[in-house]
Structures are given as C-alpha cells and as structure tokens.
C-alpha cells in the first residue's frame, strides 16, 4: 500500500513526463503571468465552438506622461495616436502579404482585416484606448471549402499587432550600433510603408509628450506588451530617418516644366500628373541646357509623411537624371 507522499510523487512524475512529451507540449499555450494563465483557461472554456474560433482578440493603449493633465489630453493628440497605430497595423498586415511599397494604399482585403473598432475610457492620471477587430474571427475566414481552415486561431490583426509590438519593443533596445540593431533589421524587412508608419507614430508620441503601454490579448495566447516613452519615441523616429528606412527609390519619367531650376523641378509625368522634385544631390550646374518641354528620366527617393489634419504628404528628392530623346 502506497503512502500519500508516494502518491504525490507519482502524480508529480506523471505531470512532468506529460509536459516534456512533444505532443503534449504543443498543446500547452504560452503564458508569462498568472493573469495570462487565468485568462487562457477561461477562454478555453468559453470558446467551445466546433467549427473555428469565436472569441475575438482585444487590446489597449494606455497613455500617460507629461502630455496629460490628470486624465485629459488634447483631442487631436489622442486621435493621432490611435490613427497612427491603425496605420501601423495595416502597414504591417500588408507587409506580411508582400505589399510594402510607399505611395499607395494597402488592398481592400488587408484594410478590412486590419480595421480596428475603438472604445475609450480613463483611469486616474491616464487615458485608455481600447480596440478590437472590426471583423469577427469567423467572418474573416469567410466560406472555406475545408474544415481545417475553420480551425485557424490567427486573425491578420493578431499577427500584425504582434509584429508591430515586436518592432516597438526592439526600438527600446536599439543600442549604440543602431544600423546593426534588431530594430533596423526588422523594419528593413517590413519595408518603407511600415517604417514610415512607425516614424509617424513615434513623432506623435514625442510631440505630445505621451508615454504609452500597448497590450494585445489573443484568446489562448500570452498577452503581448510593450512600453514606449516619449523620449524613446523621439530616438526611434530619428533612427528611422537616419537609416533611410522610410525612403523608396522611384524612377520618374516626364516633361520638364521648370523655367529656372533653383531648388526643385516641376515634371509632368506620362500619366498627366505634375509633381515637384527637389534637386537633392544634383548640382544646379548639371541642369544647364534643360529647356521647358524636354523629356527627362529622374532617379529619386520618395518619402511620405502624415501631416497636421491627417493628410499624407509625398516628397521626391532627385539623386540623378538624364535627358531623353523625344519619340519620333
């Protein structure tokens, strides 16, 4: 007859053996805090739908810092934080599908699947912006032809917000060799649209003097979290610009319209749009002999920036150019 202590030892050994079993280990969700473990357990009991995920993820941005007075802040500053975060998640979602370019919107499906719904609340000395996916998990899946597709527990927002948090967390740990940091490496892979979105959000935090805590709670997963101060945000924006992560090379072909090339050119592109191109690295002496109506090809870098009012400003800076012969 075994003693109670022996039974406990046997039970402990069985639990440890089960945990170390590869098959069992794959079924154990990741967790980092007791709150995570409690939430994951409750989610598991609630989400019992046989044909796919029912429970939605949700998150929040907890705003504190010098820019707040008690639990109040300027409406425009708070709106820019949430708008900037929405742009960032959409840019990351698009990048994960291979669409990273500046100068155009993510496709309609990515926008739909990364659209956020907002709920706002306050706590002493802080403002809390809560958000959830506008698209329910089962609606994002659509009408699959295979039951296996219904068993996915990852919405696009889960992976997009998770990657955005990972980038911001890397921004907290850039270190002295910025160009060799994980932050620069991550943003380089995500492309200039995401880099520009990170830069714009970081500049918003710097100007507003906001510190933020972002949390994303996905059912049956550990909570993803990051804390970014206004001071760190300023450094993040500076590194994005210093590393030219927010720039995209473009080729501009069109008709030269400028009478006197002082600091910029007007070029009428073949599609009929007229754009302004800064001379950049081009020596004005190189432009001698150019006449209105000449066709030229300009190699330039394009940048976009969200300005006051929420509109997007696009700038082009020339790196080199050549004259083209008119078609005969």
Give the domain ranges of the chain: 25-242, 248-324
Per-residue pLDDT, 292: 86
Where do runs of H (alpha helix) occur along the chain? 4-20, 22-27, 34-46, 75-95, 108-114, 137-141, 147-150, 156-171, 182-190, 192-208, 230-242
pTM above 0.95, yes or no: no
Q: What is the CATH number of domain 248-324?
A: 2.40.50.140
Give the integer Cα–Cα distance in Å for 306 and 193. Answer: 12
For the chain, the farthest-separated pair of C-alpha atoms sits apart, in whole angstroms, at: 104
CB 263 within 8 Å of CB 286:
no
Among candidate residues 219, 172, 225, the one with its CA nearest the CA of residue 62: 225
How many Å separate Cα 281 from the centre of its chain? Answer: 31
Beta strand 211-217 pairing with 224-228: antiparallel
Q: How many CA atoms lie within 13 A of 177 on its CB side?
A: 4
pLDDT one digit per residue (tens) for the chain, 328 residues: 566 666 656 655 655 555 555 544 444 455 555 555 455 555 555 555 545 567 889 999 999 999 998 888 999 999 999 999 999 999 999 999 999 999 889 999 999 999 999 987 777 888 999 999 998 888 886 544 444 444 456 889 999 999 999 999 999 999 889 999 999 999 999 999 999 999 999 999 999 999 999 999 998 888 999 999 999 999 999 999 999 999 999 999 999 887 665 678 899 998 889 999 998 878 777 777 788 888 999 999 999 988 776 788 899 999 988 888 765 4
Q: Is the dihedral of CA 188, 203, 230, 116 positive or negative?
A: negative
Give the integer Cα–Cα distance in Å for 17 and 264. Answer: 71
- How far separated are the first and last CA of the chain, in Å rounded? 103
CB 129 within 8 Å of CB 109:
no
Q: DSSP string spanning 104-156?
A: SPPPHHHHHHH-EEEEEEEETTEEEEEEEESS-HHHHH-S-SSHHHHT----H
Give the integer Cα–Cα distance in Å for 318 and 105. Answer: 24
């Amino acid at each position: 007859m075994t003693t109670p202590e022996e039974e406990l030892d046997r039970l402990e050994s069985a639990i440890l053996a089960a945990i170390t079993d590869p098959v069992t280990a794959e079924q154990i969700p990741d967790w980092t805090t007791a709150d995570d473990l409690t939430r994951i357990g409750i989610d598991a009991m609630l989400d019992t739908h046989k044909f796919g995920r029912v429970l939605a993820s949700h998150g929040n941005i907890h705003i504190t810092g010098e820019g707040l007075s008690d639990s109040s802040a300027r409406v425009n500053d708070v709106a820019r934080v949430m708008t900037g975060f929405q742009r960032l998640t959409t840019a990351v979602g698009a990048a994960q599908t291979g669409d990273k370019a500046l100068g155009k919107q993510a496709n309609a499906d990515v926008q739909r699947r990364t659209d956020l719904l907002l709920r706002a609340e306050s706590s002493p000395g802080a403002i809390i912006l809560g958000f959830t996916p506008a698209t329910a998990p089962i609606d994002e899946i659509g009408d699959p032809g295979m039951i296996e597709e219904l068993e996915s527990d990852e919405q696009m927002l889960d992976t997009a917000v998770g990657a955005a948090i990972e980038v911001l967390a890397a921004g907290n740990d850039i270190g002295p060799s910025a160009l060799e940091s994980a932050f620069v490496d991550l943003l380089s892979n995500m492309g200039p649209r995401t880099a520009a979105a990170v830069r714009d959000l970081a500049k918003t935090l710097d100007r507003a003097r906001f510190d933020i805590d972002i949390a994303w709670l996905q059912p049956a997963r550990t909570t993803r979290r990051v804390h970014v101060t206004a001071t760190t945000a300023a450094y993040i924006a500076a590194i994005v610009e210093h590393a030219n992560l927010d720039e995209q090379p473009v080729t501009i072909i069109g008709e030269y319209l400028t009478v006197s090339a002082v600091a910029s050119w007007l070029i009428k592109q073949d599609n009929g749009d007229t754009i302004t191109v800064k001379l950049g690295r081009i020596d004005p002496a190189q432009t001698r002999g150019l006449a209105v109506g000449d066709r030229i090809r300009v190699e330039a870098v394009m940048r976009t920036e969200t300005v006051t009012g929420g509109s997007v400003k696009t700038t082009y800076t020339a790196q080199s150019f050549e004259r083209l012969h008119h078609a005969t």
